Amino acid sequence: MLAICVQAGAQDMAHYKRVVKELASAKYQGRGYAKGGANKAGKFLEKEYKKAGVDEVTLQPFTLDIQTFAGKMQMWADGKKLTAGIDFSMREYSPGVKGEFPVYHVDTLHFDADKMFADLAKPEYKNCLVACEFWFTYKHREAFSRLQTAGGCTNAGLIYTWPAPIKFFKAYGHRVVDKPIVWVTPEAIEGVKRVKLNVDAKFLKAYECFNVISKIEGERHDSCFVFTAHYDHLGNLGKKIFYAGANDNASGSATIVTLAAYYAKHRPKFDIYFLAFSGEDANLRGSTYFVEHPTFPLEKIKYLFNIDMIGDNNPVEYCEVSDAGMKAFPLFEKINAEKHYFKDLHRGDLAANSDHYVFATRGVPCIFFENEKGDAFQYYHTIYDNWEHAVTDSYEPTFRLVRDFLERY
């Protein structure tokens, strides 16, 4: 009976949902930078950790440079007004843009870079926007990178097509290229001859952010476990649109808050740190700063768990494991096989896709959990990743899997 009570009281779904809903609310404007949403979310989490009963909470300040789009965000295609966040968005390193432009559609079936540049030299395409499918431009990036620079061509900018729902990113927003780049759905730009844009941008230099670092003391202090999750997201696209980020990554932030509450009541054998990072969507800036300025020796970490986007319902849990963490990976598999938390643990290649990576490259034993390709995954980096589309199925099995690992490792 005692075991059943502990099992049932381990995770706290009500607490989890409350934190996700709060972080995804309009109060935090997508937890970005232009309207201070990320820092407001960090202060909220600081209070949550204190309420959870942790032994200490500190804020670790750092700065980042980032391009933002919180002003005018308007676009017309042959006179038809498009909707920001649905029909179009901006590439994160784009400058602002105002004006009306002819559109040059790239022939991807018979592509010839020399012919494209010859066409763009014609008077009718001077100051045009070059429209092309994104992955095609990536495949031919040497040619298309010339279209982003002031001296590369006479075009005014580029249009990248991406299937709906249209996405928005921040990873490379630390710089600004010479010409505007707009993401547009293929349907919105197909056959369009002229485009009008009125887009404001503001580059924030040395913007002040912070990581939220919490600690629960265990019986032993010579080693520690670490839970990480980033709490920032994409922020604003214009004055009215914001990216709520319920799955990415309010889900992970809420998970480690509830883990902190659990371990405050069930004291662990080893110290546990909870690292809530900002700047992850700006290319892992918060976690990178932490590993360069650690508040405790990285060598003390027995194992680190990075929880990012587990708000989904795929019965298979995706994970990535550092080289140093592979020795313990069979224990995760054994626990999962015994308890049937997930149908399987699918281990992918280690990648620089979340905060675990900067620890992995420094020899820290770590694992990254992400429940991808369920019903919520389609909304990744779109305006639909909100509380209304939140999925909670993977929270409890993820919580129990890491809890069981700590007990047995």
pLDDT along the chain (409 residues), means of 10: 46 95 98 97 98 98 98 98 98 98 97 96 95 96 93 93 96 96 98 98 98 97 98 97 98 98 97 98 98 98 98 98 98 98 98 98 98 96 98 98 97
pLDDT given at position 3: 44
pLDDT given at position 33: 97
Question: Closest Cα to residue 57, out of 211, 225, 287?
Answer: 211
363-386: string of b/e by CB count within 10 Å (b at 16+)?
ebbbbbbbbbebebbebbbbbbbb
What helix, strand, coil percent values describe the chain, rounded to 5? 35, 30, 35
Strand partners, 75: 82, 197
pLDDT given at position 46: 98
Rounded to 5 degrees, what angle do the CA atoms 63, 26, 245 make? 65
Q: Which two tokens stand for residue 85?
A: 């966040």
Domain 7-64+205-408 has CATH 3.40.220.10: no
Question: Closest Cα to residue 225, out of 17, 6, 404?
Answer: 404
Q: How far apart are CA 58 and CA 323, in angstroms?
A: 30
Q: How far apart are CA 159 and CA 235, in angstroms?
A: 22
- Strands of 5-124, DSSP E: 56-68, 73-77, 80-82, 88-90, 97-105
What is the pTM (predicted TM-score) of this model? 0.94
Q: Domain map of the chain by residue range?
A: 7-64+205-408, 73-199
Q: Which two tokens stand for residue 257?
A: 């808050």
What is the residue type of 342? F
Backbone φ and ψ for 173, nearest 5 degrees, come out as -80, 5
Say which DSSP state 160 is in.
E
Helix (H) / strand (E) element for 188: namely: helix 186-189
Q: For the beta carbon of residue 64, count every other beta carbon within 10 angstroms.
A: 22
Q: Are 168 and 85 in contact (CB under 8 A)?
A: yes
CB-count exposure of residue 67 (10 Å: 0-12, 13-18, 19+): buried
Strand partners, 20: none
Q: Which two tokens stand for residue 345?
A: 């643990």
Q: Which two tokens stand for residue 128?
A: 């045009």
What is the residue type of 29? Q
Helix (H) / strand (E) element for 116: namely: helix 113-120
Strands of 301-307's sheet in order across: 56-68, 202-216, 270-277, 220-230, 301-307, 366-370, 316-321, 344-347
Length of the chain: 409
Query: For the structural domain made of 73-199, what CATH number should be given?
Result: 3.50.30.30
Q: How far apart are CA 402 and CA 272, in angstroms?
A: 13
pLDDT given at position 11: 75
Question: Closest Cα to residue 128, out of 138, 141, 119?
Answer: 119
What is Dmax (Cα atoms) for the chain?
Answer: 81
Q: Which two tokens stand for residue 44?
A: 């909220």
- Residue identified by tokens 């232009």 is 34
Rounded to 5 degrees, what angle do the CA atoms 236, 241, 247 make? 75
pLDDT given at position 1: 39
Alpha-carbon 126 to chain mean position: 37
What is the residue type of 396? E
Q: Are 279 and 62 in contact (CB under 8 A)?
A: yes
Strand partners, 133: 161
